[in-house]
Amino acid sequence: MTTAILGAGLTGCTLARLLAEMGEEVVVLEAAGDYGGLCRSVTMDGFTFDLGGSHIIFSRDEEVMAWMRTTLGQNREERHRETKCFYRSRYVQYPFENGLYDLPPDDRFRCVDGFVRAVIAAELAAESGEEAPARTFLDWIYRTFGDGIANCYMVPYNEKIWKYPLDEMSAHWVDGRVPRPPLADVLRAACGLPTEGYVHQAVFSYPASGGIEALVRAIAAPIEDRIRCGFCVRSVRREEGRFLISDGKTTVVADRCISTIPLQALIPAIDEVPPEVADAVGRLVYNGVACVFVGLQAPVPPFSWVYLPEAELGYANRVSFPSNYSTGAAPSGYGSILAECTYRPGDPVDTMDDAALIDHVLDRLEAMGVLSIEDVVVTGVARQPFAYVVYDLAYQESVRIVREFVAERGVDLVGRFAEFEYLNMDGCIRHALDYVRGHCRCA
């Protein structure tokens, strides 16, 4: 059995390793000049930054977490998460509902009052049997958190990151992913009593050197010789039970084809795509991310990352501090910052050149008091056109049409933009593990 894997990002490399460990022949076809996908990193004058946004290693999935730690080996450090939301010129404990005591009194009251009302409304609806699931993401936010937390943080932050009307986004993906916080925790937080949300992130791992790419390198080490970079898939067709995959110059023949590349790249490579499938792919919505890198000859605030909900804080929705993740992320005594700005084709972030985007981010960070311009020694920008899956109201029907078509052609889909699901790193590895166990008799 020879398996061709399209794409050598985290999912593709994980699949290749797992299948190779089971004795299968694998070849991984990657369009870029190097493998790693969204988990690549770059080192600039001693500063290491992650090209696809700031990544950390954590998971509720104990098996996946153990696998990542074992694979990374000794090249790993652990940190206690220290995360904030920057709101009204102050640092508020994250998640926002756990930091209500940090708010001005009037906002604190609005948030507690709105949350209590939302809890009561949900309980009354459940008792009467009239509770219906939220249809839109915006509706889900107000039902879950109340109008205070929604208006102060959840709505403006999500408008920033998604760049899409929240009342035109589906709620199906978030219910369960972000649970309603317990009422007691919110009241404790409002009284200034310590509360901790997202405890599975409370301690996270990160490579001691090499950035998050070190994890992908460790995963790929046993099968690196089977990764073919610079192979941009132009054609995928099936003849007599075998797949013929071509980049226009070379054809790879395989018994099985697993795609981890975006559907927007796979579908054009398949012959005779029906109009309804092409239309469905065209309807799928996604965001890119522009990452602005900043190296400082000065320390940075003692935080892991900070969320920026307010429009006045500029285009960045989150800034992280890689030099606080590991000792190898920056030279000793120096600090580093990574600002993430999501974008859609044609919007201001997309159309700004790199120099203008860097100036914009530096200006806002200096206004926040995060840095002084005279301390900046390194800057850079990396843009990833495929970063976030956006769940619009047409998503479920569109993705169903595309998946059914691809399944008819015998191609398996695994990974974030192949399945078109908002998967974190641990989710990508989990899906790879499940695929191998479900599709290989010897698993």
pLDDT in tens, 185-232: 999 999 999 887 666 678 999 999 999 999 999 999 999 999 999 999
In this structure, are 229 and 161 located in the same domain? no
Looking at residue 199, what is its pLDDT? 66
Residues in the chain: 443
Identify the pLDDT of residue 441: 55
- The answer to whether 295 and 334 have CB atoms below 8 angstroms apart is yes
Answer yes or no: is 403 within a domain: yes
Q: How many domains does the chain have?
A: 2
CATH of the domain at 26: 3.50.50.60
Query: What pLDDT does residue 443 have?
Result: 41
Q: Which ranges constitute the DSSP H helices of 129-252?
A: 137-149, 155-162, 183-190, 213-220
How many alpha carbons lie under 13 Å from residue 98 in its C-beta half-sphere?
A: 16
CB 256, CB 243: distance < 8 Å: yes
Same domain, yes or no, for 9 and 143?
no
Does 397 lie in the same domain as 276? yes
Tell whether 276 and 405 lie within a shared domain.
yes
* Token couple for 363: 């200006």
Claim to verify: residue 10 and residue 159 sit in the same structural domain: no
pLDDT tens-digit series, residues 36-92: 999 999 999 999 999 999 999 999 999 999 999 999 999 999 999 999 999 999 999
**pLDDT reading at 131 higher than 80:** no
Angle between helices 10-21 and 213-220 (to 10 degrees): 20
Residue that has been written with the tokens 């070849």 in this structure: 27
Q: What is the separation of C-alpha 114 from the centre of its chain, rounded to a whole number of angstroms?
A: 30
Percent of the chain whose predicted confidence (pLDDT) is above 70? 98
359 is a domain residue: no
Q: Is 334 exposed, middle or buried (0-12, 13-18, 19+ CB in 10 A)?
A: buried
Whether residues 233 and 171 share a domain: the answer is no
140 and 165: one domain? yes
Q: 329-378, pLDDT tens digit by residue? A: 999 999 999 999 999 999 999 999 999 999 999 999 999 999 999 999 99
Token pair in block for residue 43: 């080192």
Sign of the four-CA dihedral 53, 58, 59, 60: negative
Residue 204 counted as domain residue: no
- For 407-411, what is the mean pLDDT? 97
Q: Do both 112 and 166 map to the same domain?
A: yes
Helix (H), strand (E) at residue 275: helix 275-283
pTM surpassing 0.85? yes
pLDDT digits (tens, 9 = 90+) for 146-199: 999 999 999 999 999 999 999 999 999 997 677 788 999 999 999 999 887 666
Q: What are the backbone angles phi and psi of residue 404, rounded to the nearest 5°?
A: -65, -40
The range of the structural domain enclosing residue 10 comes to 2-37+212-284+392-439
Under 8 Å between Cβ of 329 and 42: no
Residues 150 and 219 in one domain: no
The phi, psi pair for 241, rounded to 5°, reads 80, 0
Same domain, yes or no: 138 and 104 = yes
